[in-house]
């Protein structure tokens, strides 16, 4: 009975995997709710490397109960799978997250006027819309994924829906936007590569091990980045008052969202996943529109509503198309 229930649960996730990826990506937007708690008005903010190290460490601790399983799988993994896992930890998790966090540091800077801060945030997430373009291209080049002709109109519709949401914001801001844009563009390329690498790694190991190694293998790299930025004194900059924010980031957009994401990615082509992940900027701008304390109280524009409807419709269409293509990944 238990095995039958588990198979039914798995088939449901596999059937709606693209939509689940979009839901997991939307959960990443919860980061914006906890991030301001790490900004110190006295000017002693934690550096991006300190923030990412802290949240990655907390997430890694959550995987201790399954550590023996992870080790067993890693012992059987091929060197190509190991290479993909190390690349995911170094690129998408360590360097990309630090770059993106640095861009958010500008966006949430207390020294900038509110309009300028919102402008940087909008540009940051506008550039995020390039991730599906990079992801689909890399999936075609490295995974040899070939999509049906109907994929491209749906992909364009998803990109257009997300663009409607983002473009409704006033993007007037100081030139610090250029630096923030450079950081987020680098993160976007690395994250797109991470989708492709994750799809490859899931052919040989479970989604649990993929999730655990993403954070665990990134710790030495993040520690090195933190020591390079702050030295040993960086350890003394953490405070108990920041723990709720760290826990929020680690548990919701970190642990839960990432495990759900990799579970659904097992049966979703990387090119489809790249567009499904547009749920992230869509959810983020919804959070901005919600009244405090649930959001930031920015007014909700009609184009945002239209864009959200278009995006959901497009991702639903991609999910249906994915099902007809019969994409499968061996269970491990």
User: Is residue 264 over pLDDT 70?
Assistant: yes
> pTM score > 0.85 for this model?
no
Work out the average pLDDT over 235-258.
90
Q: What is the pLDDT of residue 173?
A: 44
CA dist 81 and 197 (Å) reads: 9
Which one has a higher pLDDT value, 10 or 89? 89
What DSSP letter does each residue of 148-192 carry, written as one string?
A: -TTHHHHHHHHHHHHHHHHHTS-----THHHHHHHHHHHHHHHHH
At 42, is the secondary structure helix, strand, or coil? coil
pLDDT tier for residue 332 given thresholds of 50, 70 and 90: very low
CB atoms within 10 A of CB 238: 16
- What does the pLDDT look like over 84-114, one tens digit per residue? 999 999 999 999 988 888 776 665 554 444 4
Q: What is the pLDDT of residue 111?
A: 46
CA dist 152 and 63 (Å) reads: 38
Domain ranges of the chain: 15-325
- The DSSP call for residue 185 is H
- What does the pLDDT look like over 149-192, one tens digit per residue? 888 888 888 778 777 765 655 444 445 556 666 787 788 889 99
User: Is residue 276 over pLDDT 70?
Assistant: yes
Which one has a higher pLDDT value, 163 or 238? 238
Q: What is the pLDDT of residue 12?
A: 81
Work out the average pLDDT over 195-218.
94
- The DSSP call for residue 217 is T
The two structure tokens encoding residue 303 = 């184009």
Q: What is the mean pLDDT of the chain?
A: 79
For the packed helices 48-62 and 207-216, what is the interaxial angle rounded to 10 degrees?
Answer: 140
Q: What is the pLDDT of residue 122?
A: 55
pLDDT tier for residue 54 given thresholds of 50, 70 and 90: very high
């Amino acid at each position: 009975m238990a095995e039958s229930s588990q198979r039914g649960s798995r088939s449901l996730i596999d059937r709606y995997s693209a939509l689940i990826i979009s839901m997991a990506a939307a959960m990443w937007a919860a980061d914006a709710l906890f991030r301001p708690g790490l900004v110190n008005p006295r000017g002693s903010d934690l550096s991006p490397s300190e923030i990412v190290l802290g949240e990655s460490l907390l997430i890694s601790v959550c995987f201790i109960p399954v550590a023996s399983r992870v080790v067993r799988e890693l012992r059987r993994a091929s060197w190509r799978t190991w290479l993909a896992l190390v690349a995911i930890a170094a690129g998408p998790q360590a360097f990309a997250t630090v770059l993106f966090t640095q861009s958010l540091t500008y966006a949430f800077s207390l020294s900038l006027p509110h309009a300028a801060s919102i402008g940087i945030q909008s540009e940051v997430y506008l550039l995020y819309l390039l991730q599906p373009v990079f992801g689909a291209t890399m999936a075609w080049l490295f995974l040899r994924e070939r999509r049906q002709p109907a994929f491209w109109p749906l992909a364009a519709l998803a990109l257009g829906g997300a663009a409607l949401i983002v473009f409704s914001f006033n993007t007037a801001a100081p030139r610090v936007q250029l630096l923030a844009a450079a950081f987020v563009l680098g993160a976007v390329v690395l994250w797109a590569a991470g989708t492709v690498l994750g799809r490859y790694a899931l052919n040989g190991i479970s989604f649990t091990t993929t999730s655990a190694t993403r954070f665990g293998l990134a710790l030495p790299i993040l520690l090195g980045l933190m020591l390079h930025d702050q030295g040993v004194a960086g350890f003394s900059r953490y405070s108990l008052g920041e723990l709720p924010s760290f826990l929020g980031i680690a548990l919701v957009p970190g642990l839960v969202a990432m495990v759900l994401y990799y579970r659904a990615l097992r049966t979703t082509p990387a090119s489809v996943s790249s567009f499904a992940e547009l749920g992230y900027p869509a959810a983020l701008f919804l959070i901005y529109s919600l009244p405090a304390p649930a959001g930031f109280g920015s007014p909700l524009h009609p184009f945002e509503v239209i864009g959200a409807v278009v995006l959901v419709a497009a991702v639903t269409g991609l999910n249906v198309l994915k099902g007809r293509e019969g994409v499968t990944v061996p269970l491990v």
